[in-house]
């Protein structure tokens, strides 16, 4: 345990704060000047109004009509003086909450002043309702708007029992109705209405506070259609120079003899189009030497309106044929020239030029006389691939051909060495496997090798880019044998497999569930307890200085025990106050016990490892601090203040019941042990101060309840503080490597190395 000057400073600050609180409890702090005779408090909830005040009630024993009244100090609240010496209190802003203090000044006929303070408080909590977004609605003529459950869009600010009154405004062409269940129905004033209406919905609670939201209701005109639609696109391939299409059968696969349809054709670039009898489409080449692809836009309409649009793609091909051989075999040759003219023939004299697309496995080049030269990019590669060749017959027409290529490598295929079986104990780790060392293949250092795995449902396998396999158990409690198949893919040409058997021995019964967590936690507590006992052997000068400060501080404060006790018992007004009772409860043994159970249980139930660890630390701090406190109580045997034997009455190792011994305070010890553990897990100063506040209140309550001397509380607080910080530091990796907290997928595991 390492104690530094920061911890000594904490003790000094604690003593100072405790002294200030005790002083304020004993003495009344008063301002100089004229003192108010009375202070009256008036409180209402937000949305309510103050009752009228009778001025005669403010100064008992005085006739209000005999006094001259005035008001001072009000900032928010307005006062109106009424006849019969009464005052009306108004709040200009109904949404305001807070406190305003007003001085009521009364002057009698002898010019004597009487001042009474009125504290007017408007409590928050009665806020306007909050609305979620109510979606707009759009329908077509003849449709119906969906009913709106208005209460579903209320986000209640206080409770779900708040009463909401709904209303609307701003509507002209819609009929709106809100039923007793706050369900809104909307319909148009007449079935022929189309347009957009804005309705403002208003939600008001029982306090008169309201909020509103605009919702848009739109009715669109009904769409008209002729009853059928066109396909998005029609593809047409032909060798003919003149084409005649029957439009309705081409685009709709049926004939509409009696329909009055209007067809339109636009967008052609190389073909000319002529509509015959508004039913047939005649297509003709403008240039007799042109071949290629042209596109037309086809639209159709009738008397009821526009129906649809389609696209017609026409591909005219010359009377020529692509003649492909099945494939070409390349075996051990880097260059293989191919005469591309052997692959295309035509029955008319059309000039042809060739081009070739890039390929991942081959270099391709077209030289003079249309000779294609092919060389493989990797001499070790083998397999099949395709080269795509384009024959340009005209500037606008291209025929594409594919040339399959097969290459056979001169190298031997790869093989793999079988993996050795691995066997470990539960909690140990399997050895890392270099998979590439088990692969036999010429030139494997220059190849791309991709490893994968399958099987091993109980094992986690990770394979690095260098071929290193890391195998571990998915469940740390699992035992048995499992088999994993490792597969090596070499340049997408070869795949070889090897298997590995991985075994975890069955553990002894005390290493299984449910005994294992009990054993681990037991060893953790025993180890921490032994370390706490041995801690004084490793104390350095700073630790001894801190111990000396605690002893000297206890002795110094013992001189003020009896004077302070005499002052405290004079004022018992707050004996049963909530603050004092809370301090006494926070220092009970049950408080850290319940806190440890709740925090650790939450951590285990939700998988929150930090919460589980904090719950364990709270229990250890309670157990160690409570036992240290009990031993010291029995050792000193000091009488409590309530026994009226004085602060220096000691019966060391006497027959007094242990709970009746005063030094040190058990409540202060346990409260500071609990707060020290919680505060150690945050770095924010303000949050640490907030966590230690209940512990300080506990110390004050023990003195105020006449259960302990000041020095009892100081020593107990120091014990709880240092034991709590010791337990937290024990669970840090920087302190003790024998204690290990292992974060697992299912929770936190505690291990102790023997």
DSSP string of 643-663?
GTS-TT-B-TT-SS-GGG--S
Of 183, 184, 187, nearest to 141 by C-alpha is: 187
DSSP string of 682-732?
---HHHHHHHHHHHHHHHHHHHHTTSS-HHHHHHHHHHHHHHHHHHHHHTS
Euclidean distance between CA atoms 349 and 749, whole angstroms: 85
Contact 512, 520 (CB under 8 A): no
Residue 414 pLDDT exceeds 50: yes
Of 220, 232, 43, 249, nearest to 142 by C-alpha is: 220
pLDDT tier, 81 (very low <50, low <70, confident <90, very high otherwise): confident
> Edge-to-edge strand order for the sheet containing 480-490?
422-424, 494-504, 480-490, 449-455
pLDDT at residue 200, as a whole number = 92
Euclidean distance between CA atoms 122 and 100, whole angstroms: 9
Which one has a higher pLDDT value, 85 or 378?
Answer: 85
Euclidean distance between CA atoms 640 and 708, whole angstroms: 6
pLDDT at residue 162, as a whole number = 63
pLDDT cut 90: percent of the chain above it: 3
pLDDT tens, residue by residue, 577-611: 888 888 888 888 888 888 888 888 887 777 777 78
How many other C-beta atoms can be found within 10 angstroms of the C-beta atom of residue 43? 12
Residue 750 pLDDT exceeds 50: no
pLDDT tens, residue by residue, 112-163: 888 888 888 887 766 778 888 899 998 888 788 999 998 888 875 444 446 7
To the nearest 10°, report the CA torsion of 738, 744, 749, 754.
-30
Per-residue CA distances from 625 to 236, 668, 678, 721 (Å)? 92, 10, 15, 9
Of 615, 623, 612, nearest to 594 by C-alpha is: 615
Please tell me whether residue 410 adopts helix, strand or coil conformation: coil
Euclidean distance between CA atoms 54 and 388, whole angstroms: 104
pLDDT tier, 751 (very low <50, low <70, confident <90, very high otherwise): very low
Element (H, E) at 530: helix 515-534
Residue 79 pLDDT exceeds 60: yes
pLDDT tens, residue by residue, 274-302: 888 777 888 887 776 677 788 888 877 76
For 695-725, letters b (16+ CB in 10 Å) and e give bbbbbbbbbbbbbbbbbbbbbbbbbbbbbbb
Euclidean distance between CA atoms 700 and 110, whole angstroms: 48
To the nearest 10°, report the CA torsion of 285, 289, 294, 299.
0
Instruction: Spell out the residues 6+ positions from residue 383 whose beta carbon is closer than 8 angstroms to its own.
Output: 361, 406, 407, 492, 493
Contact 433, 424 (CB under 8 A): no
How many other C-beta atoms can be found within 10 angstroms of the C-beta atom of residue 463? 17
Residue 718 pLDDT exceeds 70: yes
The pLDDT of 522-541, averaged and rounded, is 72
* Assigned token pair, 676: 């020290």
């Amino acid at each position: 345990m390492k104690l530094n000057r920061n911890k000594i400073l904490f003790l000094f600050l604690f003593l100072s704060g405790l002294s200030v609180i005790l002083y304020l409890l004993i003495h009344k702090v008063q301002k100089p000047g004229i003192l108010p005779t009375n202070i009256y408090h008036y409180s209402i909830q937000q949305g309510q109004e103050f009752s009228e005040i009778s001025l005669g009630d403010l100064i008992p024993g005085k006739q209000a009509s005999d006094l001259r009244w005035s008001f001072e100090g009000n900032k928010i609240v307005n006062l109106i003086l009424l006849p019969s010496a009464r005052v009306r209190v108004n709040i200009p802003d109904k949404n305001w909450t807070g406190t305003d203090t007003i001085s009521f000044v009364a002057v009698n006929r002898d010019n004597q002043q009487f001042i009474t303070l009125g504290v007017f408080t408007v409590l928050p909590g009665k806020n306007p309702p909050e609305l979620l977004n109510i979606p707009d609605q759009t329908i077509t003529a003849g449709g119906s708007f969906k009913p709106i459950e208005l209460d579903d869009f209320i986000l209640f600010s206080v409770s779900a029992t708040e009463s909401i009154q709904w209303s609307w405004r701003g509507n002209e062409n819609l009929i709106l109705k809100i039923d007793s269940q706050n369900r809104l129905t909307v319909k148009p004033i007449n079935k022929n209405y189309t347009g957009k209406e804005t309705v403002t919905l208003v939600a008001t609670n029982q306090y008169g506070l309201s909020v509103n939201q605009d919702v848009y209701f739109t009715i669109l005109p009904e769409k008209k259609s002729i009853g059928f639609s066109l396909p998005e696109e029609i593809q047409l391939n032909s060798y003919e120079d003149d084409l005649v299409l029957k439009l309705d059968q081409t685009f709709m696969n049926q004939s509409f003899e009696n329909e009055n349809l209007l067809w339109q054709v636009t967008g052609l670039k190389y073909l000319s189009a002529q509509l015959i009898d508004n039913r047939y489409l005649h297509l003709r080449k403008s240039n007799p030497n042109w071949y290629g692809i042209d596109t037309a836009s086809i639209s159709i309409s009738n008397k009821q309106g526009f129906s649809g649009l389609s696209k017609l793609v026409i591909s005219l091909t010359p009377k020529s044929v692509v003649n492909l051989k099945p494939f070409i075999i390349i075996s051990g040759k880097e260059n293989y020239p191919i005469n591309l003219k052997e692959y295309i023939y035509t029955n008319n004299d059309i000039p042809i030029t060739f081009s070739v697309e890039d390929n991942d496995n081959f270099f391709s080049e077209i030289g003079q006389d249309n000779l294609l030269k092919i060389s493989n990019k990797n001499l070790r590669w083998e397999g099949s691939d395709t080269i795509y060749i384009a024959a340009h017959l005209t500037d606008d027409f291209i025929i594409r051909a594919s040339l399959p290529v097969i290459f056979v490598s001169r190298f031997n295929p790869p093989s793999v060495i079988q993996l050795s079986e691995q066997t470990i104990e539960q909690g140990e780790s399997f050895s890392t496997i270099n998979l590439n060392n088990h692969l036999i293949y010429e030139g494997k250092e220059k190849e791309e090798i991709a490893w994968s795995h399958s099987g091993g449902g109980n094992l986690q396998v990770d394979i690095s880019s260098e071929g290193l396999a890391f195998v571990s158990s998915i469940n740390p409690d699992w035992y048995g044998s499992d088999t994993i198949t490792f597969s090596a893919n070499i340049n997408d040409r070869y795949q070889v497999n090897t298997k590995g058997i991985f075994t975890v021995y069955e553990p002894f019964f005390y290493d299984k569930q449910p005994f294992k967590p009990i054993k681990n936690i037991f060893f953790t507590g025993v180890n921490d307890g032994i370390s706490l006992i041995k801690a004084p052997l490793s104390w350095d000068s700073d630790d001894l200085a801190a111990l000396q400060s605690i002893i000297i501080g206890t002795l110094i404060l013992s001189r003020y025990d009896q004077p302070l006790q005499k002052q405290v018992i004079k004022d018992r007004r707050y004996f049963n106050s909530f603050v004092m009772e809370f301090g006494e409860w926070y220092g009970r043994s049950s408080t850290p016990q319940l806190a440890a159970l709740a925090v650790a249980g939450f951590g285990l139930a939700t998988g929150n490892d930090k919460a589980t660890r904090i719950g364990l630390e709270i229990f250890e701090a309670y157990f160690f601090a409570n036992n240290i406190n009990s031993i010291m109580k029995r050792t000193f045997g000091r009488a409590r203040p309530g026994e009226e034997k004085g602060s220096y009455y000691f019966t060391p190792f006497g027959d007094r019941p242990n709970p009746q011994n005063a030094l040190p305070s058990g409540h202060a010890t346990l409260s500071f042990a609990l707060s020290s553990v919680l505060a150690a897990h945050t770095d924010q100063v303000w949050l640490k101060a907030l966590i230690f506040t209940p512990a300080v209140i506990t110390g004050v309550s023990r003195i105020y309840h006449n259960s302990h001397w000041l020095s009892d509380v100081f020593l107990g607080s120091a014990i709880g503080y240092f034991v709590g910080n010791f337990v937290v530091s024990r669970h840090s990796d920087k302190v003790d490597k024998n204690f290990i907290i292992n974060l697992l997928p299912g929770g936190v595991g505690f291990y102790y190395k023997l």
